[in-house]
Structure 1
C-alpha cells in the first residue's frame, strides 16, 4: 500500500510580525499538483515533505516520547535500524521574475525520492529535507529543567550524531515553560521543542497538566505564547489528545489556538485521557482537526502497529504525517517500514530471530552508555525482552534467563542459544505495551467548572511520565 499524494508540497510565505516581535511565517499545503501561478508571492518558498518550522522532514514520521523508553539508546537504535541518514533533496535554483514548475526525483541513499511538482517564483526553492523523521526524548518537566535537577539533566543528553535533537517539555505555568524554552535556546540543548498536552497518567493530570490542560483555553494560550516567544528560531510543536473524555473534547479549540500562537505543527493522539491506552483510536478526529487547522502540519497518532496502518491513517484523514509510540516497542524496524511505505515501496522488514537478538544486544550495550552502569542497563532492558521476542517460539526458561541476567556478556551468551534462523512470526502487527481504559481522569478540584479561567497549578519537579 502506498501513500496518496506524497510527498506533499508546502508553501511558506511572509506574514505580519508575530506577538514575539519577529516576522512570522504562514504555511499551507498545496498538495502534490502543480500550484497555480498565484500560489506563491514575493518571498515565498516551497518545501517538499513536511515542514516543521525550518526543519524539512521526510519521511514524515515522529517517534513519540515514552517515559522510560525513548532515551538516547532507544532513539539511536531506531535511527540505525531505519537504515538511512537524513535525506537531502537537491534544492532547485530560484528563477528570477518568472514562475516555473519543478519536477523529477532525487536519489537518496540508493532510493528514489520523488520531488512532486511545485511552482517557483523569485526566491522560491523546493527542499531540502533535513531530517529522516524526528526522534523525541522522554517527557521533561519544565520546573525540573530550570532547577537543573540531576536526573532531568541526564535525561536531556543526546548521543553524538543525533540530529535534529528533539525535546518534549511538560509544564503548567507559562513563566516556567518560557524559562525552560529560553534555557534550551541559550544553551543549545535541542533543535526542536515539543510541548506535552497528551499525557493521561494521574500524577500529571491531577496537577492540571498533560491531557487535562487544553480544557483551560486561556492557560493553554498563555503557555504557547510564552514558549513561542522564547524559542527564537527553534520550532515549537504540540502533542495532545482529543480531550479529557467524550463529554469534554478539547482538540479543535486547542489546534486553532496553537496555529494562532505560532506553533509549527500539531499532533493528535485520537484517544481521550479517559481511554488512556485502551479501546480504539478514533481517526475521524484527526480528519476534523486537519479541516480546522490548515496553515501548519497536522500529524496523526494512535493504533499504528505497522506501516500499512500509517498509510491508512493518511488516506482516511489527510494528515501530513504520523507519530508512532507503542507500535515500535521491540520493533525498531517499524521505522524502516515507514520509510519504505512513504516512498512507495512495498518492502517490509521481517528479521529472523538471529537479527532480532543482535539488535537486542546492541540496544543493551547502548543502554550501558546512556544510563552509566551495566547493572542499571540490564535491569532497565528487562521490560524490552518480551516486546522484542513477541511471537517468536522461545521457551519460558530462556525468557526467564534473559530477564534475570546480570551482565551484557551473560545476555549475549544466552541469546547465542536462540534459534538464529527462526523466521519473523506472522500476525505480530498487533497492539504492544500497556493498554486499558480508566474509570475516571484525576483532575484538580473544580477543574471543569470554567474552561476560560487561567488558573496555574503547582508545577511538578520530576521528569518522566
Structure 2
C-alpha cells in the first residue's frame, strides 16, 4: 500500500505530542495481526527478541504460555554470511516452533539482502524483523543501532534490501525506538520510509535510546506512528499486566503488543495478556491467577532443563548452562519471602541433579506462597526503573548527509554487537 504523502523531514523529527486523547474503548477483541499473505498472528501478542535471552527454550516457554510469536535474539548479517557457529545457533529453531521469526541486524544493504535470502532459503524462516532499536552507546556512537534512522538514505536502502532479499516470500518488519534523544526523534520519518520500502509492519519501543529501559515510557509516540502510516504498528514498552496491554491498544490504536523484560522470570504474563485480549478487555475476561511459589519453581526447573538440552549440541557443558541460567533465578524468585534459602542453594547448584534436588526440597520454601504483587512491575535487568538519560554520541558529521545514496554513512559503520 502506498505510504501517505509527506514532506521529506530533516533527521530530527518534531517533539512528541503528550495531549493525545484515548481512542474509544474496545468492546470486541482486537483483530488478528496480519503481517502479509503468508503470516497472521493471533492473538496479537509477541515476545520481544532479547540478546542473551531469546534462545529456542525461552521462545518455546513464552509460546506455551500464550505468546503468538516469539522472535530470536539478534542475528548479525555479516556473521550469518560467514557461517559463524554461534550465529548459526542463534538462527536455529526447535521442531515445535510453529512460526520461525528472526531478528536481523546489518549495516550494509548488500549483506542484509543476502542474509535475508539465506534465512528464507536455508533456515525456513517465516518472518524477519530488522533491528534499529539498539540503545547501547558504543554502538550509536559509531552510527549503528538507534542512530541509523538519523541517516534516512542509508536506512531506506537497508529496509529495501531486506524486502528484496525476502522476495515476497516472508514479511519484513522494522523495530524502532522513538529516536536517539528527545531532541532527535525519528519514529515518524523512519516509519514512513519503512512503509514506502515495503515493510509489512513496525514495532515501536516507546522510549528514546538515551533512556535505555527507564521510565517514562512514551505511549503517545505509538499513537503518532499509528496515525502516520498505513501498515500495522506494534506497541512495546512497560506492558506488565493485562490492563497495560488493553490500555496501550485503547489509547494508541496499535495492532499488537510486544512484551520483553516483563516476561523474564514471569512467562505466564502472556497467558494473562492473551486471556484479556481474546475477550476484548470486557467484564467477561477471566484473567488466570498468577502461580504460587511451587509452580514458579517447577517452571524455572523446566526452563533450565530445556536450556541444558538445547545447548548440549553446541558443546556447552551442563555446568556452563547451569551457570548461564543463574541470571534467571532472581527474576523467578523476586519478592517471595520464603525463598531466601531456595535462592541461595539454586545459585550454588552446578548440575541438573543439584537443581532438581533443591527444587523438590519443599522444606526450603513455602510452595503455596502466593505470587507477590510487588514482582509484577519489578524493573528487570539493567537500565530499568528510575528515569535516566545516558549521554549519547554520534560520529562526526552524522547529521549532515541528506543527499546521495547513503554510501558515505555506510562506509563508516562496523557490525558491533547490540541489543533491542
1:326 matched to 2:261? The reply is: yes
Aligned residue number for residue 77 of structure 2: 142
1:351-382 deviation line (CA, Å, top 9, x unaligned): 01111111100000010122223112111110
Work out which of the residue numbers 311, 314, 317 in structure 1 matches 2:246: 311
Aligned residue number for residue 381 of structure 1: 325
Give the TM-score taking structure 1 as reference length: 0.77
Secondary structure of 1:56 counterpart: strand
Secondary structure of 1:239 counterpart: strand
Aligned residue number for residue 356 of structure 2: 412
Q: After the TM superposition, which of the residue ranges 164-173 and 400-409 deviates more from structure 2?
A: 400-409
Work out which of the residue numbers 234, 250, 263 in structure 1 matches 2:199: 263
Aligned residue number for residue 221 of structure 2: 285
Give the TM-score taking structure 2 as reference length: 0.85
1:127-170 deviation line (CA, Å, top 9, x unaligned): xxxxx621000011111111111111111111111011100001
Contact preservation (8 Å) 2:241, 2:269:
yes
Aligned residue number for residue 91 of structure 1: none
Secondary structure of 1:274 counterpart: helix
Work out which of the residue numbers 356, 361, 365 in structure 1 matches 2:296: 356
1:173 matched to 2:156? The reply is: no
**d(CA) in 1 for partners of 2:176 and 2:419?**
16
**d(CA) in 1 for partners of 2:68 and 2:345?**
35
**d(CA) in 2 for partners of 1:213 and 1:464?**
14
1:68 matched to 2:48? The reply is: no
Q: Measured at CA, do residues 395 and 369 of structure 1 come closer, stay the same or move farther in structure 2, by a change above 3 Å?
A: closer
Aligned residue number for residue 238 of structure 1: 174
Q: How much does 1:271 deviate?
A: 0.4
**d(CA) in 2 for partners of 1:145 and 1:163?**
22
Q: After the TM superposition, which of the residue ranges 355-364 and 404-413 deviates more from structure 2?
A: 404-413
Aligned residue number for residue 14 of structure 2: none
**d(CA) in 1 for partners of 2:176 and 2:96?**
29
Q: How much does 1:67 deviate?
A: 0.6
Aligned residue number for residue 371 of structure 1: 311
Aligned residue number for residue 200 of structure 1: 135
| More strand as a share of residues | 1
**d(CA) in 1 for partners of 2:389 and 2:350?**
36
**d(CA) in 2 for partners of 1:448 and 1:229?**
27
Q: How much does 1:305 deviate?
A: 1.1
Aligned residue number for residue 370 of structure 2: 423
1:326-361 deviation line (CA, Å, top 9, x unaligned): 110100001111110111223233101111111100
Q: How much does 1:438 deviate?
A: 4.2
| More helix as a share of residues | 2
Secondary structure of 1:69 counterpart: coil
Q: Measured at CA, do residues 449 and 266 of structure 1 come closer, stay the same or move farther in structure 2, by a change above 3 Å?
A: same
Q: Measured at CA, do residues 307 and 217 of structure 1 come closer, stay the same or move farther in structure 2, by a change above 3 Å?
A: same
**d(CA) in 2 for partners of 1:154 and 1:343?**
34
Aligned residue number for residue 128 of structure 1: none
1:54-91 deviation line (CA, Å, top 9, x unaligned): 21111101111111111111111111233xxxxxxxxx
Q: Measured at CA, do residues 141 and 6 of structure 1 come closer, stay the same or move farther in structure 2, by a change above 3 Å?
A: farther
Q: Measured at CA, do residues 370 and 443 of structure 1 come closer, stay the same or move farther in structure 2, by a change above 3 Å?
A: farther
Q: How much does 1:5 deviate?
A: 5.0
1:401-453 deviation line (CA, Å, top 9, x unaligned): 21121011111111223321111122332132222534312332332334556
Aligned residue number for residue 446 of structure 1: 397
Q: Aligned residues, how many? A: 375
Contact preservation (8 Å) 2:175, 2:205:
yes
Contact preservation (8 Å) 1:198, 1:269:
yes
Aligned residue number for residue 434 of structure 1: 382
Q: Measured at CA, do residues 342 and 149 of structure 1 come closer, stay the same or move farther in structure 2, by a change above 3 Å?
A: same
Contact preservation (8 Å) 1:224, 1:261:
yes
Q: Measured at CA, do residues 322 and 451 of structure 1 come closer, stay the same or move farther in structure 2, by a change above 3 Å?
A: farther
Q: How much does 1:259 deviate?
A: 0.9
Secondary structure of 1:291 counterpart: helix
Aligned residue number for residue 58 of structure 1: 42
**d(CA) in 2 for partners of 1:330 and 1:60?**
22
